[in-house]
Amino acid sequence: MKVKAAPGIKVPREDKPREFITDAATVDVPNSAYYLRIQADGDLIEIDAADSAKTTAKKGGE
């Protein structure tokens, strides 16, 4: 799943705890209990690639 951190939050990666997921870039992570729990807490936001593409297409077509 593709995720970003909530604004102002740094989330440690499951496989590399000294590296962080931030709100600066979208990251592809496995659909594991670790990431699902952090997402449920609101610290990670799932980015749906299909919705992003639709939004971009609508803006360009207007």
Could you read off the pLDDT of 3-18 as tens digits, one per residue? 999 999 999 999 999 9
Q: Range of 56's domain? A: 2-61
Summarize pLDDT for 20-39 with one digit per residue, the tens.
999 999 999 999 999 999 99
User: What's the structural domain count of the chain?
Assistant: 1
HSE value, Cβ hemisphere, 13 Å, CA-based, for 4: 10
List Cβ neighbours of 29 (8 Å cut-off, separation of 6 or more).
Answer: 1, 2, 3, 13, 14, 21, 35
Q: How confident is the model at residue 53 (pLDDT cuts 50, 70, 90)?
A: low
Q: How confident is the model at residue 48 (pLDDT cuts 50, 70, 90)?
A: confident
